[in-house]
Every structure is written in C-alpha cells, then in structure tokens.
Chains A and B, each alone.
Chain A
C-alpha cells in the first residue's frame, strides 16, 4: 500500500503526527484496517473536566483569571456554543497579556480584556485553566 492511496486522515497518522485519542470512528477504522504502516497514538487526558463542567465563560473579573504574577492568560477560543460557553477544543492555545504596560503601570481590567478579545481570545478562570492544563501545574485549587 502506498501513501498516495491512503485517506487523508491516515496519511497524517502515518507521518507520525500525534493524534489525540478521541471517540472517532475514523481513527478506529484506521487502527483496525491498517497493518501495512505503523500507527502510534499517545493518549491525552485531562480535557474531560473542561468539557464536563461549564467552567469557561467570557465574562470574568481578573482577580480569579488564570495567569501568573506578570501576565493574564488569554485562551484562543475555537467557537462559541449556543449556551454562550466557549469550546476551547482539546488543547487550546494561549497568549499572554501582561498585567502592566511597558512603563510598569498596572493596566485596567477593561484594557486587558479588550486586548485579549482583540486577539480573538477569552480570559478564562484559573479553575478552567487548571483543568484544561491537564492538571500538571499552573494554578492550584
């Protein structure tokens, strides 16, 4: 079997990109039917919490926002669902909004939220970040 004949999904897997194991039949079929190429998937858990509880919402005060001493984390959301919850996907990416301006002056909450929104993201609560972050670090609850 040559790579050309493989369905798109399969090619990607065969080239060794990590796939996040998910309940998708395409991936199942892939594993079942393919003997002629090696397959490896690495399990990624930890997103369960983020999916299960409505932890993320766009409105938030920055007191409890995820971040560190110097930055607020701004999650780049994939889409907004009907109820207003944001779907961050399984492994959302983040940008950092510094809490202070170049001159070392603390920015207002509005500025930080605006800056995040301009980047197409949302500020998420420390709790949500904690769970999405796979629970290996960040904010302790």
Chain B
C-alpha cells in the first residue's frame, strides 16, 4: 500500500488531480495542458465544478479565453440544472399541500440545500427523495393528481418497479421533465448489503427555514460512500469521490474536534465500515485528503488484505477518465474487474453465475440472445 503514487502516474490523471487539488495553479497552465484538462474534466463531469472554483476565486478572467468560455458554458448549464431541480422540489412541496409527509432530500439537491462546497457547479438532473414505506403511496397519488406522470409504463416496467424493486417508478412532470425518484430504501433491495433506512430517517435533520429534511452529516457521507463503493462499477465516477472528500473536509472544519469520531462511530453502528474505508483511503490517495490513516483503523469492518490490493490497483484506473486519444488496456481490464465486483455485491451467487455465463455466451455468439434471453 505504500507505493501509492505508482498507479496514478499516468500524466493525464495527474493533470486532472492536480487541477482538483490546486485550482489556484490553473492560471499557470499552458494551452496544451488546458486542452487536455478540459476534455478530461468533461468526461469526469467535473467541468462545472472546476468552473465554479475558478469563478469563486475570481480566476476565470486569468485563464485562456477559449478555456474560460468552455468552463463558463458548463457552469451555466450546471446552474440551470440546479435551478430546475430546485424548482421541482418547490413544486413537489406545493403538490403535497401541507400533508404531513416528511421528505428527506438526498444527493445533489441536498448538497445544494446545505450550500456545501461541492454543490457549486455540480451537475445533477434528478430529484431524489427518501420517505417511509408507508408514505410512498400518498406521495405518488398526490403527485399524479397534480400532473406528474410515470414514464409511460409497460406491464413489465410496472411489475419490475413495484414487485421486484419495491419502489415506485420515477415521476416526471411533462412540462418540466425533471425526474423525481421517491425511495424508501438507500440501496438496491437486490444487493447483498442490506441497509436499514430507519436509522438514517430518524437522524435526518431539518433544513433551516424549510419544511424538508436532509441526512445528518455523518449519514450523508456514508450514503455517498455506499453509492460509490457498494452500488456501482465506479467507471468515471471520480466526481462522487470529490463529493465525499469535499464534504468530509467541510464537516471536519465545522466540527473540528468531534466529527471524525462521530463518523467512525456511526459507520460501526450501521456496519458500513467497508465503503467508508475505501472512501477515506482513495480520498487520500487521489485527492490528497489530509485525514490521518489512523482514522479508518478504528473501523470494525475493513476489507481484507487481498481486496485492498486489488482495489488499490483497479479503482484509480476506473474512477479516473481514460485519456481521450489513447485508451489504455489496463484501464479496460481494471474496469472489468470492478464490473464483476459490482455484480458480485449486488447479486447472490446463484444468480450471478448464470448471469455471467450468459454474458459470456453472448460475447461468443452475439445476436443469439433471443434464444435464451427471455424465458429463464
């Protein structure tokens, strides 16, 4: 684990990570560096984030005009998306019309409500809400009554959502087009890792001056970590690690003496040591997070030695964007490993094996999917 730098030595990775870690240095970049950085940042969906940091530092005028124009364009787009989702939340609250349904706002919109440092320029398009299972139907019918619609549903969709994933299908108001995802769980119910949403809901905190809630700071970080390391394949997902790290620094700054301890205790209590371990580890490795290594040693649950080494090698290659002109085979392999891992985490073995066999079959005999695809 000591040879941290080795796996992130690709020059283009270094370029992007430097820009995130030291935005003030961007004024010294030459045109060639800018051209590559802009492409990488777009791929990582971090151009709005970089633009917001430059704007805040008053530096947009001190960089090459073409770079400034593109970053400015991304920032305008991000601001529009944030406004759209914010307005959607306004309309959802209106549609619920004083009914006593506590809404917990998750992810991007929550960051925006709290004005967290990672919110500025952040690109997100959906409104994610967490409610109790009992309130699910109430919300669905209130929104449907006020003009929201499910994406036109086939019988298959309907069954998929309601029986299989125990969620309601996403709701969209046709005049605004923002997707409203109302959840009553925090992870896919198919996953092996079961997360009880109740402690999260109980600890939620009210947003100042509003009748809505967000997860408390520790839970917000844990939720971010779970989404990053438990639910997905990590490809081009650096921005979520940036979210994690920015929020971590911010909350530590706000509660300097206690926050780290609270975070560890909460992770232990909720048995979410693994994803927190990885989030802390890679924040330090890739984003120069100053958090001490002692911190994750206090976790009850930690990944094993082999898993750590595999992840240490693979995760940076997956999280960081490929070079746009020189895709690397190593990165493709690393992404494959993580793809398999994400399926492993989501599916029990008796479902995973047939699934992978089938995928392999498809890769050998493409186009024969109809024979086996449907009726299994």
Contact = CB atoms under 8 A, between A and B. Distances in A.
Answer whether A and B touch in the complex at a CB cut-off of 8 Å.
yes
Nearest to B354: A105
Interface stretch (B17-25, B32-40, B147-155, B250-258): B147-155
Give the 3 A-B residue pairs with the shortest CB-CB distance, closest first: A108-B369, A137-B125, A95-B152
B376 A103 contact: yes
Contact of A76 (B84, B152, B178, B373): B152
B208 interface: no
B373 A101 contact: yes
A104 interface: yes
Interface of B: 42, 45, 77, 80-81, 84, 123, 125-126, 151-154, 156-157, 159-160, 164, 169, 174-175, 177-179, 190, 232, 347, 351, 354-355, 358-359, 362, 367-370, 373-374, 376
Nearest to B351: A104
Nearest to B81: A136
Nearest to B369: A108
Contacts of A44: 175
25 contacts: A76-B152, A91-B174, A94-B151, A96-B151, A96-B169, A98-B160, A101-B373, A102-B159, A102-B160, A103-B376, A104-B190, A105-B358, A106-B355, A106-B358, A107-B369, A107-B374, A110-B370, A111-B373, A111-B374, A137-B81, A137-B84, A137-B125, A137-B179, A140-B42, A140-B45
A108 B376 contact: no
A109 B367 CA distance: 8
A96 B179 CA distance: 13
Contacts of B351: 103-104
A93 interface: yes
Interface string A25-37: 0000000000000
Contact of B362 (A101, A103, A108, A138): A108
A105 to B, nearest CB: 5
Given A95-B152, A106-B359, 20 more contacts: A69-B232, A76-B152, A93-B152, A94-B152, A95-B153, A96-B153, A98-B157, A102-B160, A105-B355, A105-B358, A106-B358, A107-B373, A110-B370, A111-B370, A111-B374, A115-B154, A136-B84, A137-B84, A137-B178, A140-B45
